[in-house]
Amino acid sequence: MKASKWLYDLCSLFPCCGKSDMLKQLSLGQRVKDLTAELEAINKERQLNEVQIACDPLDHFRQLTRQMNGSQMNFARVKGRGEEKEAVVNMLLNEATPDDNVEVISLLGLGGIGKMTIARMAFADPRVVDRFKEERFWIALSYSCDNDLIKRVM
């Protein structure tokens, strides 16, 4: 009631604008605030539920590593990717940079041309396995990846 009295007094100062127009705008503004609060609550609940679902994020990536480490893939059936695989393996086996930073190797190209296969082949290469031993892990990223989850896993 206080808002409508205040609005009525304000409208009496400006006869050109109607009281009903101002009340509609006030009502609409409150509805927008309520919807925003509801959406924020839904988003917060969604984030909490994702954390509960992925209570052990490492388990998911361990399973991916087991599936993608090459032991279940028949690389003998892969044709025409030897040069590309060797290039990636050579990049992985090069000595670390002087400042010992982690390097990223990006495999770019259209979908379906064999980027994942090349990465799997290089990951499973005996020279890479021997060189990195326990330092190897596989993370498959998608367009909708959770950066915070990846940071925690790494």
Q: Does residue 81 contact residue 118 with C-beta atoms inside 8 Å?
A: yes
Query: Which segments of the chain have a pLDDT < 50?
Result: 1, 51-55, 69-71
Find the length of the chain.
154
Q: Provide the H-helix boundaries in the chain.
A: 2-13, 19-53, 57-68, 82-93, 115-124, 126-132, 147-153
State the pLDDT at residue 114.
82
Q: Is 62 helix (H, G, I), strand (E, B) or coil?
A: helix
* pLDDT for residue 32: 76
Q: How far apart are CA 106 and CA 93, in angstroms?
A: 15
Residue-level pLDDT at 144: 53
Report if pTM > 0.85.
no
Model pLDDT, residue 55: 46
Q: DSSP class of residue 80?
A: S
Q: C-alpha angle with apex 11: 10 to 13, nearest 5 degrees?
A: 70
